[in-house]
Structure 1
């Protein structure tokens, strides 16, 4: 009935070290907790005597129409929790009419995922030192019909994720990032006590010297929309628009990067204001129910993306679990829109919410 039900079911079947990899955040996990707590600082302002006999949750982004503004954020290695991995996630997202942003570290090929998709796909990227890796992925994404590229910009280094470090976490078994040459990904499979193989690989492979000027290199190699994920300030939102990006995702990486960073929801209004009408602003970070989605949409997000919850659905029930999780959240959103007297997404604005006294931002 709720996302927490899927979480409980998933916890029963996922290996403990994998569960820590999925659920954990950076260091003491202050930002992870802040993402969840931020929604409690807002209250909804319902309007009455409005015709809500029909509620429409459909939204269009980059020319593709989705039945729901609730999509799937990029998360790596779905085969850690389900044998079909991202293929099952794509089927579930498609059945729900939702966007699926596929991680560069997907454990199924881009082509197999595209073949299973029933709705829009975007490809997520990190900036690798070996630019030919990025160039090859961009070409494959375009050929497979992906609709946009999502570049994570908040990870010049991987956050200090104490759970993974204590577990000596590495990607084991036959799970791998199959869209990238095995030699590039080798360190992800090397377990070492007190170290995270994910962080070791990132230190070797990610380009920490990349700047705004480097976006021109990516633009020259694709006609796909480019979306930056990991924007938390008005300053960076303005720079993103000035450098010609096509979209922004307000995100703190699910609390997995800089511990103590601002909650995504608290950052959302200033980013929306800085971006203006120039580009769509999407959001991720702590959405667990329909009223959370409603709050983020009212504060200016075009879509909200879920990271951990689709993995709970996938672990609990494969493609059907992903579809069920997304449908449940969308149904909760539609219910909340009706009770708030706002039957269309276009009716949502900041008048829908207010901060609790003493919590104004």
Structure 2
């Protein structure tokens, strides 16, 4: 019987040699070498929270499998000797389209947390998005990054807290507010729950049972009354949130979590400044739909009227190439740099970013794209799954 055209081998050739653990960042040949080492450094509960999704983790898997739907048709005899990987967002030009996504509580993976990430971002000049639930203060991050960062906002059900967070971020010089709308509930995170069951530590420092305790220990909530705050997620949000935020701040507003052309159209109608196609890495829904699959629909709806970023499932330079070919402006990565952080601290983050950058560079050269502007849909062959 002949296998379907889109079938993949059960095990890629190089996987047969992944039976050792690396001991230095330079030994990592791809992102998955860092993942393997990171697992040995992180407590079970923290690891499960990082890698898990919702229910059967099918959306986490879909975010990886979705890339197999799109294949690249290389161009030949194209001069790529003067490669230009740069992209421009809101007037600032970045050397690559790789952006550091916000990930909560990074000190759960390494003592240097967000500061180590900021230092690595500075070294390679990557745009960094600071998480609402960061464990390092924004002042510490800015000192390490030495440039303003974008700030994520979890719009809680408590408007007073939301106001306080926005004002703090604006006061820190954040030019862009990344409003996370793809995480209305944390119900069904079975992998994370199993990780807790298998973790014998007593964790009262960060997971205090007192009202608002988990947030009192996070820098962004300093000075805010969190006693009634039980979660930063809420299912009370509507599109009325956008004008309320507009009245509150002069920062540009990006919506993180758009997963349909219809919502992209509504985002345009509400005059947001950009969107991130995201399903929270598969952590908050079991839709079974990957972000890369929905990207073309969103691109059509937006019609070039605002920048479109995307995250969830990006592990290879070729993944980034495919997203840009489908119309994304830039790509945000989360778990890969956290694996680097957990494995080797700042040096691991640096290696993760280096790997992704070099792989994307290689993709541009081998596929025949001299600059990001030349990467378009004509490079892709779409197969049915």
Is the TM value for this pair above 0.5? yes
Measured in 2, the distance between the counterparts of 1:19 and 1:72 equals 19
Shift of the alpha carbon at 1:143?
Answer: 2.3
Shift of the alpha carbon at 1:261?
Answer: 3.9
2:86–2:94 Cα contact (<8 Å) kept:
yes
Shift of the alpha carbon at 1:260?
Answer: 2.4
Shift of the alpha carbon at 1:147?
Answer: 2.4
Aligned pairs (5 A) from 1:259-278: 259-278=286-305
RMSD: 2.0
2:371 to 337, 344, 353: 344
Match of 1:179 in 2: 220
Shift of the alpha carbon at 1:139?
Answer: 2.0
2:125 to 79, 97, 119: 97
Quick one: structure 1 residues 159 and 272, their matched pair in 2 at CA, closer, same or farther if it must change by over 3 Å? farther
Shift of the alpha carbon at 1:220?
Answer: 0.9
Shift of the alpha carbon at 1:208?
Answer: 2.2
| SS of equivalent residue, structure 1 residue 150 | strand
In structure 2, list runs of 5 or more residues that go unmatched: 1-28, 207-216
CA offset digits 1:281-308 (Å, max 9, x no partner): 0000111010011011111111111111
Whether 1:7 and 2:48 are equivalent positions in the alignment is no
Aligned pairs (5 A) from 1:46-195: 46-118=74-146, 121-168=149-196, 172=203, 174-175=205-206, 176-181=217-222
2:118–2:145 Cα contact (<8 Å) kept:
yes
Measured in 2, the distance between the counterparts of 1:303 and 1:291 equals 13
| SS of equivalent residue, structure 2 residue 271 | coil
Match of 2:26 in 1: none
Shift of the alpha carbon at 1:162?
Answer: 0.3
1:42–1:354 Cα contact (<8 Å) kept:
yes
TM-score normalised by length of structure 2: 0.85
Shift of the alpha carbon at 1:211?
Answer: 0.7
Measured in 2, the distance between the counterparts of 1:278 and 1:98 equals 24
Measured in 2, the distance between the counterparts of 1:168 and 1:241 equals 41
Measured in 1, the distance between the counterparts of 2:225 and 2:336 equals 29
1:58–1:66 Cα contact (<8 Å) kept:
yes
CA offset digits 1:111-170 (Å, max 9, x no partner): 111111145511111111222222222222222222211111122222410022234489
Quick one: structure 1 residues 331 and 173, their matched pair in 2 at CA, closer, same or farther if it must change by over 3 Å? farther
Please tell me whether Structure 1 or Structure 2 has the larger radius of gyration of its CA atoms. Answer: 2
Aligned pairs (5 A) from 1:245-324: 245-324=272-351
Shift of the alpha carbon at 1:207?
Answer: 3.8
1:97–1:119 Cα contact (<8 Å) kept:
no
Paired residues, number: 344
2:49–2:195 Cα contact (<8 Å) kept:
no
Measured in 1, the distance between the counterparts of 2:58 and 2:240 equals 32
Quick one: structure 1 residues 221 and 180, their matched pair in 2 at CA, closer, same or farther if it must change by over 3 Å? same
Measured in 2, the distance between the counterparts of 1:183 and 1:13 equals 33
Measured in 1, the distance between the counterparts of 2:148 and 2:65 equals 31
1:93–1:118 Cα contact (<8 Å) kept:
no
Of 55-64 and 282-291, more deviation after overlay is shown by 55-64
| SS of equivalent residue, structure 1 residue 54 | coil
1:227–1:245 Cα contact (<8 Å) kept:
yes
Measured in 2, the distance between the counterparts of 1:187 and 1:130 equals 9
1:216 to 236, 243, 246: 243
Whether 1:334 and 2:375 are equivalent positions in the alignment is no
Shift of the alpha carbon at 1:314?
Answer: 0.7
Measured in 2, the distance between the counterparts of 1:185 and 1:14 equals 28
Of 91-100 and 230-239, more deviation after overlay is shown by 91-100
Measured in 2, the distance between the counterparts of 1:45 and 1:155 equals 36
